[in-house]
Amino acid sequence: MKSFYNKKTMSIIVLFIIAILLAFCFILNYFSTDILEKDESDNIQPAEEDIIISDDKEDVREVEHEQNITEDSIKPNELGKVMIIMYHDISKTEGEWSRHYDNFRQDLETFYEKGYRLISIKSFLDNDINIPRGCSPMILTFDDGTRGQLNFIEDENGNLIVDPLCAVSIIEQFNKKYPDFGTSAVFYINYPVPFGQIEYIRQKLDYIISKGMDIGNHTFNHAKLGKLSKEEVEKEIALHKKRTLEYLEGYELDTLALPYGNSSKQNIDYIISGEYDGIEYHNRGILLVGAEPALSPVHKDFDPLKMPRIRGSQMYIDKWLKYFEENPSEKYVSDGKSDTITIPQSLEEDIDLQKIDGKKLVIY
C-alpha cells in the first residue's frame, strides 16, 4: 500500500511539474509575441513588394506598402482629424460672437507656426488636399456676413480700400508674409445685407471670389431651419441661392452652415436638396456649430452633411491645439503628394476605399 501511495504521489508531483512548465512556456511565448508585435509597429516595417487588393467588385486599387515613408520622422496620416474653425465677427471686441482683430491675427500666427495650412471647404469635400508634407489642413469659416469680416473704407484720398483690420485683409496680409499659408476661407452669409454695407454687396462678393475665397449658404434670413416647414426651409435656402447668383453668376453655391446649428430629422432632407419657385439647390456639405474636429474626408464615418466645427475663441482654439499636441497620431498630417493617400497600418480598417477616388493608397 505504501509503495502504491508513493507511486501515486510521485505521479501527481510529475504531472504538477509538467503543468507548471507548460504554463511557463505559454506565458513566455505570450510575452515574446507581444514584444515582437510592438517592435514591428514601432519600427514600421515595410512590406517587400507592392500588392494589389480587391474587394471583389470592380474596385481594384493599388496599395503601396512604402519604404522610407517616415525617414524624415514625419508620420503622414491622411485619415486624421481636421479642424474647421468657426468665426463670427472680427472686430475691436473680444466676445462670444466676435474675435478681436489682434487675437485673430495671433490665431493665424499660431496656426502657421504649428504647421496648419489653409484649404478650402470645397477641396476638403473633394478630398483634394494639397499642402506640404508634414503639414495639417485647416478650414476657416465665417458666419453671418458681418462688416468686420469684409469692410470697405476710404483712404485719405477718397479711394475705396479694404479695411486692414477686417478678416479678409488680415488673411491677405498674413499670406503675403507667409505665402505657403494660403488664403482659403468660406463666408456663410445671409441677406439682405451681407457684410453690412448695402452699397458694396456686389463688389464685396466679387472681391471674396477674386481672392479664391468662398461664399456659402447661411439661409436668406438666418432662419432656425429645424422649426420651419418643408416649404419654408426650401424658400430660405433657395432665395439665398437666387440672390447670391444674381451677384455671382454661375457660382457653385453648394455648402451650407446651419444657423444656430439648428435642423431637425423631419426637414434635413430639404436642407440638403430642394426647390422653390423654380430655383433648385443641392448642398453637398453641411456644417454644424459644435464642437470637435472633423473626420478626414476618406474616413469611413465621415459625413459631409454633418461636419462639426470648433468655435474660433481663445478657449476652444487653445483646447484643440493642445489636444493635437498631446495626441499627434489623431491629427491629419499630409504626405505632401496630391495623388496618394498615406495612412499608418493601424488605421487601415477606418478608410473608406470608395472615397479615395482614384488616388493611390499608401499604407506604412
Among residues 245, 240, 231, 305, which one has the least CA distance to residue 275?
231
The site that binds Zn ion (CB under 5 A) totals a number of residues, namely 3
Q: State the minimum distance, in angstroms, from the CB of residue 113 to Zn ion.
A: 30
Q: Count Cβ atoms below 10 Å from residue 319 Cβ, excluding itself.
A: 13
* 144 vs 214 by CB, closer to Zn ion: 144
Q: State the minimum distance, in angstroms, from the CB of residue 289 to Zn ion.
A: 9
Which residues, numbered 228-287, are part of the site for Zn ion (CB under 5 A)? Answer: 259
Q: State the minimum distance, in angstroms, from the CB of residue 257 to Zn ion.
A: 7
Q: State the minimum distance, in angstroms, from the CB of residue 222 to Zn ion.
A: 5
78 to 107: interface string for Zn ion, x by CB under 5 A: ------------------------------
For residues 196-211, one letter each, b for 16 or more C-beta atoms within 10 angstroms of the residue's C-beta and e for the rest, the string is: beeebbeebbebbeeb
* 87 vs 324 by CB, closer to Zn ion: 87
Q: State the minimum distance, in angstroms, from the CB of residue 182 to Zn ion.
A: 24
CA 263, distance to chain mean position in Å, is 21
* 80 vs 145 by CB, closer to Zn ion: 145
Q: State the minimum distance, in angstroms, from the CB of residue 82 to Zn ion.
A: 21
Residue nearest to Zn ion (CB): 143
Q: State the minimum distance, in angstroms, from the CB of residue 218 to Zn ion.
A: 6
Work out whether 143 is an interface residue with Zn ion (CB under 5 A).
yes
* 89 vs 144 by CB, closer to Zn ion: 144
Amino acid identity for residue 137 in this structure: P
Work out whether 144 is an interface residue with Zn ion (CB under 5 A).
yes
**Maximum Cα–Cα distance for the chain, whole Å?**
122
Using the contact rule CB under 5 A, the part of the chain among 100-108, 143-151, 164-172, 225-233 near Zn ion is 143-151
Q: State the minimum distance, in angstroms, from the CB of residue 219 to Zn ion.
A: 9
The three-state DSSP-derived secondary structure of the chain is: CHHHHHHHHHHHHHHHHHHHHHHHHHHHHHHHHHHHHHHHHHHCCCCCCCEEEECCCCCEEEEEECCCCCCCCCCCECCCEEEEEEECEEECCCECCEEEHHHHHHHHHHHHHCCEEECCHHHHHCCCCCCCCCCEEEEEEEECCCCCCCCEEECCCCCEEECCCCHHHHHHHHHHHCCCCCCCCEEEECCCCHHHCHHHHHHHHHHHHHCCCEEEECCCCCCCHHHCCHHHHHHHHHHHHHHHHHHCCCCCCCEEECHHHCCCCCCHHHHHEEEECCEEEECCEEECCCCCCECCCCECCCCCCCECCEECCHHHHHHHHHHHHHCHHHECECCCCCCEEEECHHHHHHECHHHCCCCEEEEC
Work out whether 214 is an interface residue with Zn ion (CB under 5 A).
no
Using the contact rule CB under 5 A, the part of the chain among 1-9, 144-152, 173-181, 201-209 near Zn ion is 144-152
Q: State the minimum distance, in angstroms, from the CB of residue 190 to Zn ion.
A: 7
* 143 vs 214 by CB, closer to Zn ion: 143
* 101 vs 187 by CB, closer to Zn ion: 187
* 148 vs 259 by CB, closer to Zn ion: 259
* 165 vs 258 by CB, closer to Zn ion: 258
* 258 vs 363 by CB, closer to Zn ion: 258
Contacting residues toward Zn ion, per CB under 5 A:
143-144, 259
